[in-house]
Amino acid sequence: MENSIVKNENELKIGGVLATVLANEVYKATGIKPHKGLLNKPGDLDYNNIIIDELPLDYSILDEIEYKYPENNAYYGYMTRGCINKCSFCAVWKIEPTFNQYIS
């Protein structure tokens, strides 16, 4: 693949809410088996002890694109994660059924 930002296409990963909830559809469309669920344990994606879900967001990736992110003076973080309710339209409880009050 020319002009690719992916060094090795075989290392391309798909994850997140859509990939978790619609994993079969994503696989059919891309041929890539999605990572379903969280990255909240060491070794979820690779073989080190880093818990990816606890890392701050990497805003440096925005420097690699021409798009000017409108909220470029903001910072996102989680105060809580998960939910014990099961609203039919929602994906939160399907991915994170345990409520966590605070993540440092």
Helix (H), strand (E), coil (C) string for 54-85 = HCCCCHHHHHHCCCCCCCCCCCCCCCCECCCC
In the complex, minimum distance from the CB of residue 82 to ligand SF4, in angstroms, rounded to a whole number: 8
Cβ nearer to ligand SF4, comparing 4 with 85: 85
In the complex, minimum distance from the CB of residue 55 to ligand SF4, in angstroms, rounded to a whole number: 23
Q: Confirm if 22 and 16 have CB atoms less than 8 A apart.
A: no
Rule CB under 6 A: which of 80-99 touch ligand SF4? 83, 85-87, 90, 92-93
> Whole-angstrom Cα distance, residue 14 to residue 6?
13
In the complex, minimum distance from the CB of residue 83 to ligand SF4, in angstroms, rounded to a whole number: 3
Q: What angle do CA 59, 12, 73 make, to 5 degrees?
A: 10
The size of the interface with ligand SF4 (CB under 6 A), counted in residues, is 7
Residues in contact with ligand SF4 by CB under 6 A are 83, 85-87, 90, 92-93
